[in-house]
Structure 1
Amino acid sequence: MHTDLMETGRSSVPATRAARKAASRARILAAARELFEDRDFDAVTVGEIADRAGVAHGSVFHHFESKKGVYRAVLDAVVDEMDAAFDGSADTTDLDAVRRGLRAHLTYAAQHRGLTTRLVLGRRSPDPDVRAASERGRERVLTAIALALEVDPTREANIFVGRVMATAFDEATVLWLESDGTLLAHAVVDWMIEMMEAAIDAVPALEGRAGRRNLPSL
């Protein structure tokens, strides 16, 4: 009996320690997210992150190694949330699902304007980690859209068109956020859908072939 109690006590120590460590990391990540929502990477200091999280400055480096590590973790979390928003609405593989997914994407962008803009513009960053975070979510959404439109996501011409469309949609998202409601979200989504249809329909021309591809109607 005594041995069992000792074993129970012994096993609870690392569990408690792990819980404290996880809670500390979560506070740092939440604090960094709030700061990066309002300001660019260079305008936020590790000291500010630590102070807002209520931890020692060294704790930030313990969990994330560097400010860039915290920033990458924040962007990765945003990518996961944007994926979840898109996937949660695009629950079937058709154009209506893509439409719902894009609307969910814009809704999320409006609710997290600063971080969305930083993530979208991250593809231009000289930092490879930031570019990687930006690209990760883009590739998943492009594959989902390709499958919904019944096109091969591995075909070279489709990859080319997809990347061009992704760049256009990124710019459209940022411009839409800057419009502050002048452009309606559903109208932007309709425009995105029509652009995709036209671009994919023109793939034969891109490949030097005659003819046009007939897409499923809306």
Structure 2
Amino acid sequence: MNNSQQRGAAPARTARGGERSRARRAELIAIGRKLFADTSYDALSMDDIARHAGVAKGLIYYYFANKRGYYLAIIEDAVTELVARADGGRELPRTERVQRTVDGYLRYAQHHQAAYRAIVAGGVGFDAEVHALRDGVRERLLGSIAEGAYGRRDIPPVARTALIGWMSCVEGATLDWLGRGEPARETVVALLVRLLRETLRAVEDFDPSCPAPPPDA
């Protein structure tokens, strides 16, 4: 093999190594999401995590530095999935897209309750980094709802305040629904979508530059 061939082989090996590293990190995050779904943060030690994952504790330290770093990576992964689910369907009509956004949000909360509660509650105690992740997901969801309602993400203060209020309502209703297990998810979706329509009508009353979309938009 000549020098140029050898030089060409190194990036390929590096790329394969990077893919394996990303895959192993993603695998550890997936294991962590299951562990923290069933057990509280304080009840899990790094030894417990390593034993459940079937790996040496040093491997977890290699990827995440410590338990808190591991936990934050799990929450960030959950945030990414939640936003991806809620932000889909851009090709749909506005009304259908909003309904899909709310339904995707509730489906995620229903199937990933521990991660959802951590995102909404802000993590373990007052954790500034988890709060920052929570605020980030709220901003991205706010943008998605604004785009679905108005076709744009830059909205005036009155619209922002109203939509933030609606999102707080969504979080509270979702937590109550998860705790009670009723009514049916479809009913909760319909209720929250109707509340959003009323919120958008109220915004229009205060700021005509943000007209509420027609029901069949």
Band the TM-score falls in, shorter-chain normalisation: 0.7 to 0.9
Cα separation, 2, equivalents of 1:126 and 1:52: 27
Supply the AA of the counterpart residue of 1:92. Answer: L
Cα separation, 1, equivalents of 2:39 and 2:82: 20
Supply the AA of the counterpart residue of 1:40. Answer: S
Give the CA deviation at 1:8.
6.2
Partner of 1:121: 121
Q: Which segment drifts farther, 33-42 or 163-172? A: 33-42
- Gap change, CA 1:152 and 1:85, over 3 Å in 2: closer
Cα separation, 1, equivalents of 2:82 and 2:44: 24
Alignment of 1:169-184 (within 5 A): 169-180=170-181, 182-184=182-184
Structure 2 gap segments, 5+ residues each:
none
Alignment of 1:1-218 (within 5 A): 1=1, 3=3, 6-7=6-7, 14-15=14-15, 17-89=17-89, 91-92=91-92, 94-122=94-122, 125-150=125-150, 153-180=154-181, 182-203=182-203, 214-218=212-216
Give the CA deviation at 1:214.
4.9
- Gap change, CA 1:157 and 1:123, over 3 Å in 2: farther
TM-score, length-normalised on structure 2?
Answer: 0.83
CA contact (8 A) 1:28 1:50 kept: no
Give the CA deviation at 1:190.
1.6
User: What's the Cα RMSD here?
Assistant: 2.9
What SS is found at the alignment partner of 1:43?
A: coil
CA contact (8 A) 2:123 2:131 kept: yes
* Percent identity of paired positions between Structure 1 and Structure 2: 26
Give the CA deviation at 1:69.
1.3
Give the CA deviation at 1:148.
1.6
What SS is found at the alignment partner of 1:202?
A: helix
Residue deviations 1:25-67 (CA, integer Å, cap 9, x gap): 2332122111111123222222222222222222222211221
Q: Which segment drifts farther, 112-121 or 196-205? A: 196-205
Give the CA deviation at 1:108.
2.0
TM-score, length-normalised on structure 1?
Answer: 0.82
Q: Which segment drifts farther, 146-155 or 91-100? A: 146-155
Cα separation, 1, equivalents of 2:10 and 2:213: 63
What SS is found at the alignment partner of 2:92?
A: coil
What SS is found at the alignment partner of 2:183?
A: coil
Supply the AA of the counterpart residue of 1:115. Answer: A
Structure with the bigger RCO (C-alpha within 8 Å, sep 6+) is 2
Cα separation, 2, equivalents of 1:204 and 1:216: 12
Cα separation, 2, equivalents of 1:186 and 1:86: 16
Cα separation, 2, equivalents of 1:193 and 1:123: 28
Supply the AA of the counterpart residue of 2:64. Answer: F
Give the CA deviation at 1:203.
3.2
Supply the AA of the counterpart residue of 1:52. Answer: H
CA contact (8 A) 2:158 2:203 kept: yes
Cα separation, 2, equivalents of 1:152 and 1:193: 19
What SS is found at the alignment partner of 1:119?
A: helix
- Gap change, CA 1:15 and 1:154, over 3 Å in 2: same
